Structure 1
Amino acid sequence: MAGASGPVSSTSKSAPDAVAHADIVPMVWLSCGLAALAGLLFGMDIGVISGALPFIKKDFNLSSAMEGWIVSSMMVGAAIGALSAGSISKSMGRKRALLASALLFIVGALVCVVATGPTMLWIGRILLGLAVGVASFTAPLYLSEVTPERIRGTTISFYQLMVTVGILAAFVSNAAFSYIESWRWMFGVLAIPAVLLFFGALSVPNSPRWLAAKDRFDEARDVLSKLRGTSEEVEYEMGEIQEALESEADSQGFQMFKNNPNFRRSVFLGVALQLVQQFTGMNVIMYYAPQIFQASGFQGTSASLWATVVTGLTNVLATFIAIALIDRAGRKPILYAGFLMMAATMAVLSYVLHVGATTTVLQYTGMAMVLLFVVGFAMSAGPLIWTLCAEIQPLQGRDFGIGASTGANWIGNFCIGFFFPIMFEGIGGAWTFGLLAAVNALFIIFTLKYVPETKGISLEKIERNLLAGKALRAIGV
Structure 2
Amino acid sequence: MGGDHFVNAEVIESSTFQARATVVFTCLLAALAGLMFGLDIGVISGATQFIQAEFRVDDRTIEWIVSAMMLGAAAGALGAGWLSATLGRKRSLILGGVLFVLGSVLSGYAWSPETLIAARVVLGLAIGVATFAAPLYLAEVAPERIRGAMISTYQLMITVGILVAFLSDTMLSYSGAWRWMLGIIAIPGTLFLLGVLLLPDSPRWLFMRGRREEAMRILHRLRGDVNVAEREAAEIEEQLKTPQRGWHLFLENRNFRRSVGLGVLLQLMQQFTGMNVVMYYAPRIFQEMGYDTHGQMWFTALVGLTNVLATFIAIALIDKWGRKPILYTGFAVMATGLGVVGTMMHGNLAGHGEQIFTVVMLLVFIVGFAMSAGPLVWTLCSEIQPLKGRDFGIGCSTFTNWVANMIVGATFLSLLNGIGNSATFWLYASLNLIFIALTFWLVPETKGVSLEHIERNLMHGKRLRDIGE
* Interval containing the TM-score (normalised by the shorter chain): over 0.9
> Which deviations, in whole Å up to 9, do the C-alpha atoms of 1:185-214 show, x marking residues without a partner?
222222122212222111111111111111
Amino acid of the residue matched to residue 75 of structure 2? I
Match of 1:106 in 2: 101
Amino acid of the residue matched to residue 314 of structure 1? T
Report the secondary structure of 1:327's partner residue: coil
Report the secondary structure of 2:420's partner residue: helix
Alignment of 1:434 with 2:426, yes or no, is yes
Q: Are the structure 2 counterparts of residues 281 and 23 from structure 1 closer, same or farther at C-alpha, using a change threshold of 3 Å?
A: same
Query: 1:431 & 1:120 partners in 2: Cα distance?
Result: 34
Match of 1:213 in 2: 208
State whether residues 22 and 230 of structure 1, in contact with CA within 8 Å, keep that contact through their aligned partners in structure 2: no
State whether residues 345 and 372 of structure 1, in contact with CA within 8 Å, keep that contact through their aligned partners in structure 2: yes
Match of 1:255 in 2: 248
Match of 1:466 in 2: 458
Which of 234, 240, 247 is 1:239 aligned to?
A: 234
Match of 2:67 in 1: 72
Amino acid of the residue matched to residue 323 of structure 2? R
Which of 2, 27, 39 is 1:44 aligned to?
A: 39
State whether residues 213 and 396 of structure 1, in contact with CA within 8 Å, keep that contact through their aligned partners in structure 2: no
Query: 2:197 & 2:66 partners in 1: Cα distance?
Result: 32
Which of 399, 408, 411 is 2:400 aligned to?
A: 408
Query: 2:42 & 2:416 partners in 1: Cα distance?
Result: 21
Q: Please, which runs of 5 or more residues in structure 2 have no aligned partner?
A: 1-12
Query: 1:60 & 1:202 partners in 2: Cα distance?
Result: 39
Match of 1:224 in 2: 219
State whether residues 156 and 383 of structure 1, in contact with CA within 8 Å, keep that contact through their aligned partners in structure 2: yes
Query: 2:53 & 2:360 partners in 1: Cα distance?
Result: 33
Q: Are the structure 2 counterparts of residues 39 and 258 from structure 1 closer, same or farther at C-alpha, using a change threshold of 3 Å?
A: same
- The normalised TM-score by structure 2 is 0.93
State whether residues 19 and 221 of structure 2, in contact with CA within 8 Å, keep that contact through their aligned partners in structure 1: no
Amino acid of the residue matched to residue 282 of structure 1? M
Query: 1:330 & 1:280 partners in 2: Cα distance?
Result: 20
Match of 1:270 in 2: 263
Match of 1:310 in 2: 302
State whether residues 37 and 193 of structure 1, in contact with CA within 8 Å, keep that contact through their aligned partners in structure 2: no
Match of 2:7 in 1: none
Match of 2:367 in 1: 375
Query: 1:294 & 1:190 partners in 2: Cα distance?
Result: 26
Match of 2:82 in 1: 87
Alignment of 1:146 with 2:141, yes or no, is yes
Amino acid of the residue matched to residue 25 of structure 2? L
Shift of 1:49: 1.2
Which of 38, 47, 53 is 2:48 aligned to?
A: 53
Match of 1:366 in 2: 358
Shift of 1:348: 1.7
State whether residues 170 and 298 of structure 2, in contact with CA within 8 Å, keep that contact through their aligned partners in structure 1: no
Amino acid of the residue matched to residue 266 of structure 1? S
Number of residue-to-residue matches in the alignment: 455
> Which deviations, in whole Å up to 9, do the C-alpha atoms of 1:146-168 show, x marking residues without a partner?
00001011011111010011111
Within a 5 Å distance, the mapping from 1:446-461 to structure 2 comes to: 446-461=438-453
Report the secondary structure of 1:334's partner residue: helix
State whether residues 170 and 294 of structure 2, in contact with CA within 8 Å, keep that contact through their aligned partners in structure 1: no
Which of 259, 269, 276 is 1:283 aligned to?
A: 276
State whether residues 22 and 233 of structure 1, in contact with CA within 8 Å, keep that contact through their aligned partners in structure 2: no
Query: 2:175 & 2:354 partners in 1: Cα distance?
Result: 35
Query: 2:63 & 2:267 partners in 1: Cα distance?
Result: 24
Query: 2:185 & 2:347 partners in 1: Cα distance?
Result: 42
Alignment of 1:352 with 2:352, yes or no, is no
Amino acid of the residue matched to residue 299 of structure 1? Y
Query: 2:164 & 2:238 partners in 1: Cα distance?
Result: 43
> Which deviations, in whole Å up to 9, do the C-alpha atoms of 1:384-438 show, x marking residues without a partner?
0011011111111111111110111111111112222222222222222222222
Taking only the aligned residue pairs, the percentage that are identical comes to 54
State whether residues 66 and 410 of structure 2, in contact with CA within 8 Å, keep that contact through their aligned partners in structure 1: no
Q: Are the structure 2 counterparts of residues 235 and 259 from structure 1 closer, same or farther at C-alpha, using a change threshold of 3 Å?
A: same
- The normalised TM-score by structure 1 is 0.91
Which of 168, 183, 195 is 2:178 aligned to?
A: 183
State whether residues 140 and 390 of structure 1, in contact with CA within 8 Å, keep that contact through their aligned partners in structure 2: yes
Report the secondary structure of 2:201's partner residue: coil
Structure 1 residues 194-203 or 334-343, which shifts more? 194-203
> Which deviations, in whole Å up to 9, do the C-alpha atoms of 1:252-297 show, x marking residues without a partner?
121111111111111110000000001111111222223333333x
Query: 1:114 & 1:366 partners in 2: Cα distance?
Result: 37
Query: 1:447 & 1:24 partners in 2: Cα distance?
Result: 36
Shift of 1:370: 0.2
Shift of 1:22: 8.9
Shift of 1:175: 1.7
Which of 92, 96, 105 is 2:91 aligned to?
A: 96
Amino acid of the residue matched to residue 400 of structure 2? A
State whether residues 40 and 162 of structure 1, in contact with CA within 8 Å, keep that contact through their aligned partners in structure 2: yes
State whether residues 286 and 296 of structure 2, in contact with CA within 8 Å, keep that contact through their aligned partners in structure 1: yes
Structure 1 residues 172-181 or 373-382, which shifts more? 172-181
Query: 2:419 & 2:114 partners in 1: Cα distance?
Result: 34
